[in-house]
Amino acid sequence: MRCLSREDLARVANELRDELIALGAAGGGHFAGSLGVVELTVALHTVFETPDDRVIWDVGHQAYGHKALTGRREALARIKRSDGPSGFLRRAESPYDVFGAGHAGTSISAALGVAEAFARSGSPRRAVAVIGDGGATAGMAFEALNHAGHLGAALRVVWNDNGMAIAPNVGGLARTRDVRGYIESLGLLYLGPIDGHDLDALLDALAALRDADGPAVLHVRTRKGCGYAPAEADPYGWHATAPFERTSGARAASASGGPPSWTAAFADALARIADHDPRVVAITAAMPDGTGLDRFARRHPDRVYDVGIAEQHAVTFAAGLAAEGLRPVCAIYSTFLQRAFDQIVHDVALQELPVIFALDRAGLVGGDGPTHHGVFDFAYLRMIPHLVVAAPRDENELGRLLATAVESARPFAIRFPRGAARGVPLDPEPKPLEIGRGELLHDGDAVALVAIGSTVAPALEAAERLAAGGIRCSVVDARFAKPLDADLLERVAKRARAVVCVEDHVLAGGFGSGVLELLAERAPGVPVQRLGLPDAFVEHGEIERQWRSAGIDVDAIEAAALEALHAKSGSRDG
């Protein structure tokens, strides 16, 4: 590309956009963001000596074109599959993926570190952060710019200003007209703004950025979804897409009559509770659609807050609301709530404020892979004093747990998975449950299968298979990871020859660890086997394959129960 004329580079950009549209039509995936940076992607790889110069992309939603230009064009047809590339940036995948990214707002901090490392070694190489798609609203982005102005390091930043995160950007930064003043007040050189779809202008502006002394920001204005009319008209709806018919933009109709998604079930249950409780408000960190709060907002439009990509602020903002008598519900993916751990501890739990955390996408999430799996929440939440931690087995229980949380006036976390819910009948109004009470779903004295959340259904199926062979197992829906139902767990453990605990979470510090700790005191000598995820990051791919390889599906639970029956006494982990 660096040997091509500008006329030929324009052809490359046109061909790349056509390729991305064909890719999206055939397989879906993150779509509009990458279309909006086609010219920028071509210009970056032309002006900078990549990969020696380090181009660090934020999140990865915008990087499909980058992947296509850096040796992964054919593989993109299998993106997010177990035999294809990651949907995000990944160092192990390519030397052009300089810094892994699946959470927003990290690029400027990482690029500043790279630039400072180059300066300390005397290297002439350059570091460029490409931030946008809402990432500039993240607190880390401000922190990094503030530090860059202090250091004076030769950091280059390209701000892809498209007015969007997944949903339209919110906040003062999105509305400010004095971008130059904002950047220069932090001690950085401001360049721009320029049209991010004018390749000639981009090539010249990036050359100026490349040759700047000290930290500099190039302000590039783009249109998310550029070059595909349906995506330009609705960049929110086309941020990520299912396969579609290219000419019309028609997407396959979703199957009707099936169970709702867990996300929709959450939003509807919360709306029903809010109908009768004016204290209930909801908070999202720039993901109203992904968390179902756009659905909730159709019923209660004045009771939703979008705080931008700012999970830390979301939690402490919720704590402030709770301190004055409201019942805020922070709807944040499990993987993203990790970013606000200190705020959960210090601002919510320590003060015993009734903030409710709705952790969507808990457990394994399939194609989005290790940056998005929600497999650490039991561990990072159950250690926190005053916090209740629960997981429903179906959407009716989800509604009941939400009602429990609102009524409890306690810090409360409810985790639920991605995908379709169970399709069970719903109570007309969600009824509160007793905190810390599990449920015995199947009685038996051979092996006690203790499950929670998504793993209850496969545990029940495994028990049915075992019963067909004359082996009667008890099945416990623990429902609460904290507090555990100590009396129920002690009772079933003492009746059984062994206990098998199963969770869609890492074994270290998870739900099974809590059961093991409890039974070591209440039922010593009963063998306990734990099924869960290993001490490793689970790769992207098909979710059924992920469950099978992790050993938490029906076959694995059945095998573990049979093995436990024949094992010698003693405690073991698996």
Query: What is the H or E stretch that residue 500 is in?
Result: strand 498-506
| Tokens (6 digits) for 165 | 């995160």
CA dist., res. 310 & res. 140, Å (int)? 9
Q: How many CB atoms lie within 10 A of CB 177?
A: 6
| Tokens (6 digits) for 52 | 């020696």
Give the N- to C-terminal CA distance of the chain in Å, as an integer.
52
Q: How many CB atoms lie within 10 A of CB 209?
A: 23
CA dist., res. 423 & res. 431, Å (int)? 18
Q: Dihedral angle at the C-alpha atoms of 407, 408, 411, 414, nearest 10 degrees? A: -70
Contact 104, 56 (CB under 8 A): no
Catalytic: 482? no
Measure CA 94 to chain center: 23
CA dist., res. 127 & res. 321, Å (int)? 41
Contact 284, 293 (CB under 8 A): yes
Which one is catalytic: 224, 418, 422, 479? 224
CA dist., res. 200 & res. 198, Å (int)? 6
CA dist., res. 429 & res. 425, Å (int)? 12
The alpha-helical segments, DSSP class H, found in 211-261 are 229-233
Q: How many CB atoms lie within 10 A of CB 83?
A: 8
CA dist., res. 280 & res. 565, Å (int)? 48
CA dist., res. 164 & res. 312, Å (int)? 20
Q: 105 by DSSP, 3-state: which?
A: coil
DSSP characters over 421-436: -------SS-----TT
Which one is catalytic: 311, 395, 397, 503? 311
Contact 453, 363 (CB under 8 A): yes
The residues, ordered by sequence, that sit 6+ positions from 324 with a Cβ below 8 Å of its Cβ are none
Contact 366, 546 (CB under 8 A): yes
CA dist., res. 169 & res. 287, Å (int)? 10
The residues, ordered by sequence, that sit 6+ positions from 553 with a Cβ below 8 Å of its Cβ are 458, 544, 547
Catalytic: 245? no
Q: 68 by DSSP, 3-state: which?
A: helix
Which one is catalytic: 223, 295, 339, 482? 339
| Tokens (6 digits) for 211 | 């040759």
The alpha-helical segments, DSSP class H, found in 122-277 are 139-151, 172-175, 179-185, 199-210, 229-233, 262-276
Catalytic: 311? yes
C-alpha distances (whole Å) from 345 to each of 36, 317, 335, 382 are 39, 14, 17, 11
Answer left, alpha or beta for residue 110, where phi above 0 means left and psi between -120 and 50 means alpha: alpha
- Active site (catalytic) residues: 224, 311, 339
